[in-house]
Structure 1
Amino acid sequence: MSFAKAYSGLKGAAVRALAIGACGLAVAGCDTLSSLNPFDKSETYKPEIVADVPAEQLYNDGLARIQKRDFEGAAKKFSALDKQYPYSEWARKGLIMAAYANYEGGLYEESITAAKRYLQLHPSSPDAAYAQYLLASSYYDQIPDITRDQEKSERALMALQELIQRYPKSEYVADAKKKIQVASDQLAGKEMEVGRFYLQKRNYSGAINRFRTVVSRYQTTRHVEEALERLTEAYMAMGIVNEAQTAAAVLGHNFPDSPWYKDAYALLTKGGVEPRENSESWISKAFRGVPQVSQRAG
């Protein structure tokens, strides 16, 4: 959604009280105070009076900086509204705009902080769904390559799922679903990487745990076919033939044309058995009630 579309109504909001009187005294630093001689009447401390900038001016300054693509400067202007006019309508608008400006400027952690604060203070506002979307997107845009820790991928997935659950009619749901698929695929890929390592080291139980996570949690990703084949390998290596047969059978049922099924079938026949599904196996139960897996994963 474009910025203009999302926030065209914000700029024309009614102006709140622009001045609240004298804001107090800005006291000079300790060094300045200590330098004054209390017995010297010629030295007089003159306090500096700092006036608040009107809320509308701060807001419009932020908008102007966005137009110039000075997102960091815009975020500072919007954040000032929350500080100078707390709990006001200007503060609410400034907070969501600060989250937006920080996100556009690539300051993802700052955007996350602003979005979380907005959701905490205004969970039922019209812009709450957008705040959740900015929160999720800030995590999503930080997803690292598969060799690194996937904490950001996990956080992105959780935030995107929360968006769909809390705001199912939101215009951001369609994009959130696409991003969920990508984040899930990334997390499944990491599990596969570790599982392959364990399999190579003949740590079969460790490998099975990783492949099991893929089969149980990430069935709609492109990694599930390989995970089932690797389970066939690991279970056969451990002599747990019935589970190996089930893994291959489920693989063949859902992905009959997969090259991974051909490998699993060849491995079983080499061992003198064929794919055969045990309905009481966790593998079988994991796929129960998940129709057309092959189409969704492909």
Structure 2
Amino acid sequence: MKKFFYILLVFTVLSSCSEYQKVLKSEDIATKFKMGEELYNEGKFAKANRLFAQIVPNYRGKPQAEKLMYLYSNSFYEMGDYYVAGYQFERFASSYPNSEKQEEASFLSAKSYSMLSPAYTKDQKQTVEAIEKLQTFINVFPESKYVADANTLVQELDFKLENKAYSIAKQYNLISDYEASIKSFNNFIFDFPGSSLREKALFYRLDSAYKLAMNSVERKKEARLNQAKEFYESFKKAYVNSEFISQADDMAVELNGALENYSTKS
């Protein structure tokens, strides 16, 4: 009995594959559309996509084109081909402005671009583009049920940009390029005022300024000591209970000690 069912299963699979290949080679666009939709509904998106790709040009301007183009666009999304999905959904939304699927397509287009965003350690051009696409969607559809998801994606992408900027500034600190580190942390603090990395940014800006001042040439030392002291005061005012506060206090003691030499001279 088990052998019988196994043979039946193999026969069914082979018949199904044979039928698919037959339709794939057929000139009958209606049959291709019908089978493509059936495969799509079964979750066989790659197979459905191949059929849809063959008939898209034939349906331009026809009543069924809207449905076909939505299924075609979403098959790319479901296959994980987010670059093409983003483009196709964007085309769908502009081609069918009155479609009941326009809002969803606009969101999925923006979301597709967000899926292309790389790790924060890489170039973030695509991340910036995705944020712009999502923000456009939010502005156009402020009451959409997808707005909450769009805002969440924007926050995640924003954090990548924050992490990238913070990491660059921290790297300058690690390689002892303290002037570049201070400048980068200043930019970070200005660009991302509400960042969860702000506390660390303020501390490592102080750390860079402290090390730069303490190892500075004499003609620049006093000004740099005063700048480091200002950074300490800013840090302590904002994060008096920080995990870094004892280190910051130790730096302040040394900074004040070094500054006393200049008060005596004057």
Cα deviation, residue 169, structure 1 = 0.9
Which of residues 164, 168, 179 is equivalent to 2:153?
179
- Distance in 1 (alpha carbons) for counterparts of 2:113 and 2:69: 18
Aligned 1:99-178 pairs, distance under 5 A: 99-123=73-97, 125-178=99-152
Q: Residue 68 of structure 1 aligns with which residue? A: 42
Deviations 1:165-187 (A, max 9, x none): 22111111111222222111122
Q: Residue 199 of structure 2 aligns with which residue? A: 225
Seen in structure 2, the aligned counterparts of structure 1 residues 272 and 246 have a Cα distance that, compared at 3 Å, is closer
Which of residues 198, 202, 214 is equivalent to 2:176?
202
Q: Which runs of 5+ in 2 are unaligned?
A: 1-25, 214-222, 258-266
Cα deviation, residue 113, structure 1 = 1.7
Cα deviation, residue 221, structure 1 = 3.5
Q: Residue 270 of structure 1 aligns with which residue? A: 254
Q: Residue 241 of structure 2 aligns with which residue? A: 257
Seen in structure 2, the aligned counterparts of structure 1 residues 63 and 201 have a Cα distance that, compared at 3 Å, is same
Read off the aligned partner of 2:29 and give its amino acid letter. V
Seen in structure 2, the aligned counterparts of structure 1 residues 101 and 198 have a Cα distance that, compared at 3 Å, is same
Deviations 1:153-212 (A, max 9, x none): 222222222222221111111112222221111221122222122223333343234323
RMSD: 3.1
Q: Residue 29 of structure 2 aligns with which residue? A: 53
Q: Residue 84 of structure 1 aligns with which residue? A: 58
Seen in structure 2, the aligned counterparts of structure 1 residues 85 and 181 have a Cα distance that, compared at 3 Å, is same
Cα deviation, residue 77, structure 1 = 4.0
Cα deviation, residue 68, structure 1 = 2.5
Provide the aligned length of Structure 1 versus Structure 2: 222
Read off the aligned partner of 1:189 and give its amino acid letter. N
Richer in helix (by share): 2
Identity percentage of aligned residues: 22
- Distance in 1 (alpha carbons) for counterparts of 2:156 and 2:132: 13
Seen in structure 2, the aligned counterparts of structure 1 residues 70 and 195 have a Cα distance that, compared at 3 Å, is same
- Distance in 2 (alpha carbons) for counterparts of 1:131 and 1:235: 50
- Distance in 1 (alpha carbons) for counterparts of 2:143 and 2:166: 34
Seen in structure 2, the aligned counterparts of structure 1 residues 199 and 170 have a Cα distance that, compared at 3 Å, is same
Read off the aligned partner of 2:126 and give its amino acid letter. K
What's the TM-score once normalised by structure 1's chain length? 0.62
- Distance in 1 (alpha carbons) for counterparts of 2:197 and 2:129: 20
Deviations 1:52-84 (A, max 9, x none): 623xx5554333222332212333444555421
Q: Residue 285 of structure 1 aligns with which residue? A: none
The answer to whether the Cα contact below 8 Å between 1:62 and 1:75 also exists between their aligned partners in 2 is yes
Secondary structure class of the residue paired with 1:272: helix
Secondary structure class of the residue paired with 1:222: coil
The answer to whether the Cα contact below 8 Å between 2:117 and 2:127 also exists between their aligned partners in 1 is yes
The answer to whether the Cα contact below 8 Å between 1:192 and 1:214 also exists between their aligned partners in 2 is yes
Cα deviation, residue 234, structure 1 = 3.3
- Distance in 2 (alpha carbons) for counterparts of 1:220 and 1:213: 13
Cα deviation, residue 240, structure 1 = 4.6
- Distance in 2 (alpha carbons) for counterparts of 1:170 and 1:133: 9
Secondary structure class of the residue paired with 1:259: coil
Q: Which runs of 5+ in 1 are unaligned?
A: 1-49, 274-298
